[in-house]
C-alpha cells in the first residue's frame, strides 16, 4: 500500500545553483556573516525528510555559486536544463534553489523562455542553514509543495519565500537583512501553509507557454548594461558602456525614469548610433515609467520599461534583442511581458 501511495506522488527535480540556501556560517549566531554556496543538494534534501511526503524528490547540482556572480552563460545553461526536464515525461515539477541577490532576474528569465505549463519554482533563503531560525528549510519545503501541486500549472515561474507564492515576473528583493525580503508591487499570488497552496490572483502578463521566446532557439544573449542615475550624474558610464559594445542601455532613472539634462544629449547621440535606450526607474517600491511623460520617447526613439525594475528590464531586453532590434517591437514586448 505504501508503494502505491509513493507512485502517486508527483516527481519533482530540485536543480541547485548555490546561494545562501546552500550557505554555511561559523556559528549559529551568524545570520549575515557566512559563505554562500557551500552545501550540496543531496545534503539539503536529506535535511528535510518531510519532502518525501510531498513528492518523489531528486536533486541535481547544476552549479555552486553565489548568485551575484551568475553570468549570462549560467542563465542559458540553467534554462536549457530546465527545458530538458520540463520535456521529460517523468518530471512533474521543477524547483531551482538560488541565491537571492539575482533570484528575481533568473525567475523572470525562465518565465520568458521556458515552453511548459509544468510548475517551475525558484527559491532561496536569507539566512544560511547553520543559523538560528534559518528560513531555507521551510522555503524549500514550500517550493516542493507548490511544484508538486496541480494548481501551480500554467501560472508562470513562481517564487516561494516567506510563506508567499510570488510571480517570478513581479517579485523583487526589497531588503537584505530580513527574512521578509521578497515583495511584489502588485502583491503575492498566494500563500503556502503546511504544504498546501492557497491562490488569490493570477499573472496578467505573457509568460511560458504564451511567450514568443523559447530557450531552445536562444544561442547567446546580447550585451545589455545598466547605468544608474542620481543628482549631478554624468554621461561617462553611458558612453563607456556603449563603447564596450552594449546593444542596449537600461537607464536606471530617478522617479518616472527621468533623465538628467546633463545626460539627455548623449543618450540621443547613442540612439542615433544604434544603441537602444530603455528608460526604467530605481525607486524602491517599484517604478512605473510612462511613455512620453518625462521625456519625448517618440521623438528620441527610446523605449520605456513599464513597471520592470532596471535588472528585470535588462533580462527582457536581452531576450527581446535575440528576436528584433526594432524599437517599436521592443516597446510592444515591454508592454506585453
Sheet strands side by side (includes 10-18) = 55-65, 10-18, 93-97, 120-123, 158-161, 164-167, 190-193, 196-199
Part in contact with ligand ASN (CB under 6 A); list of ranges 2-10, 24-32, 66-74, 295-303: 66-74
Q: Tell me which residue has cell 519545503.
A: 141
Residue (100 or 160) nearer to ligand ASN, CB: 100
Q: Does 20 bind ligand ASN (CB under 6 A)?
A: yes
* Residue 186 Cα to chain centre, angstroms: 16
Closest contact distance (angstroms) between CB of 178 and ligand ASN is 11
- Paired with 227 in beta bridges are 251
- In whole angstroms, give the CA distance from residue 159 to residue 121: 5
Q: Are strands 158-161 and 120-123 parallel, antiparallel or unpaired?
A: parallel
Closest contact distance (angstroms) between CB of 12 and ligand ASN is 21
What backbone torsions phi and psi does residue 54 show, to the nearest 5 degrees? -90, -40
Q: Does 67 bind ligand ASN (CB under 6 A)?
A: yes
Q: Does 100 bind ligand ASN (CB under 6 A)?
A: yes
Could you tell me how many residues of this chain bind ligand ASN (CB under 6 A)? 11
305: number of CA atoms within 13 Å, CB side? 33
The single residue of 5, 17, 71, 100 carrying the catalytic annotation is: 100
Residue (19 or 156) nearer to ligand ASN, CB: 19
Closest contact distance (angstroms) between CB of 107 and ligand ASN is 13
- In whole angstroms, give the CA distance from residue 126 to residue 107: 17
Residue 100 annotated to the active site? yes
The single residue of 20, 106, 130, 160 carrying the catalytic annotation is: 20
How many residues can be counted in the chain?
337
Closest CB to ligand ASN belongs to which residue?
99
Q: Does 36 bind ligand ASN (CB under 6 A)?
A: yes
Supply the residues annotated as catalytic. 20, 100
Please report, as ranges, the residues that interact with ligand ASN according to CB under 6 A.
Answer: 19-20, 36, 66-68, 99-101, 124, 126
Amino acid at each position: 500500500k505504501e508503494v502505491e501511495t509513493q507512485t502517486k506522488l508527483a516527481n519533482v527535480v530540485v536543480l541547485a545553483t548555490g546561494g545562501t540556501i546552500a550557505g554555511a556560517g561559523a556559528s549559529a549566531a551568524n545570520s549575515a556573516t557566512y559563505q554562500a554556496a557551500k552545501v550540496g543538494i543531496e545534503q539539503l534534501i536529506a535535511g528535510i525528510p518531510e519532502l518525501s511526503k510531498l513528492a518523489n524528490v531528486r536533486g541535481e547540482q547544476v552549479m555552486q555559486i553565489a548568485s551575484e556572480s551568475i553570468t549570462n552563460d549560467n542563465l542559458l545553461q540553467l534554462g536549457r536544463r530546465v527545458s530538458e526536464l520540463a520535456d521529460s515525461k517523468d518530471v512533474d515539477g521543477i524547483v531551482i534553489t538560488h541565491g537571492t541577490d539575482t533570484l528575481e532576474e533568473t525567475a523572470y528569465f525562465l518565465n520568458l523562455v521556458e515552453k511548459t505549463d509544468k510548475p517551475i519554482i525558484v527559491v532561496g533563503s536569507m539566512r544560511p542553514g547553520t543559523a538560528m531560525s534559518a528560513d531555507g528549510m521551510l522555503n524549500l519545503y514550500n517550493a516542493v509543495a507548490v511544484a508538486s501541486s496541480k494548481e501551480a500549472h500554467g501560472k508562470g515561474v513562481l517564487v516561494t519565500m516567506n510563506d508567499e507564492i510570488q510571480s517570478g515576473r513581479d517579485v523583487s528583493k526589497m531588503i537584505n537583512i530580513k527574512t521578509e525580503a521578497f515583495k511584489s508591487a502588485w502583491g503575492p499570488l498566494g500563500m503556502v501553509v503546511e504544504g498546501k497552496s492557497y491562490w488569490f490572483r493570477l499573472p496578467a502578463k505573457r509568460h511560458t507557454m504564451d511567450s514568443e521566446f523559447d530557450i531552445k532557439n536562444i544561442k547567446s544573449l546580447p550585451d545589455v548594461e545598466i547605468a544608474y542615475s542620481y543628482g549631478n550624474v554624468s554621461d561617462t558610464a553611458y558612453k563607456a558602456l556603449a563603447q564596450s559594445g552594449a546593444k542596449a542601455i537600461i537607464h536606471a532613472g530617478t522617479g518616472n525614469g527621468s533623465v538628467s539634462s546633463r545626460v539627455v544629449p548623449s543618450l540621443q547621440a547613442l540612439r542615433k548610433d544604434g544603441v537602444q535606450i530603455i528608460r526604467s526607474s530605481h525607486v524602491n517600491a517599484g517604478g512605473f515609467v510612462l511613455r512620453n511623460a518625462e521625456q519625448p520617447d517618440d521623438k528620441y526613439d527610446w523605449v520605456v520599461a513599464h513597471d520592470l525594475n532596471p535588472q528585470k528590464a535588462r533580462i527582457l531586453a536581452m531576450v527581446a534583442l535575440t528576436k528584433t532590434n526594432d524599437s517599436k517591437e521592443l516597446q510592444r514586448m515591454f508592454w506585453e511581458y
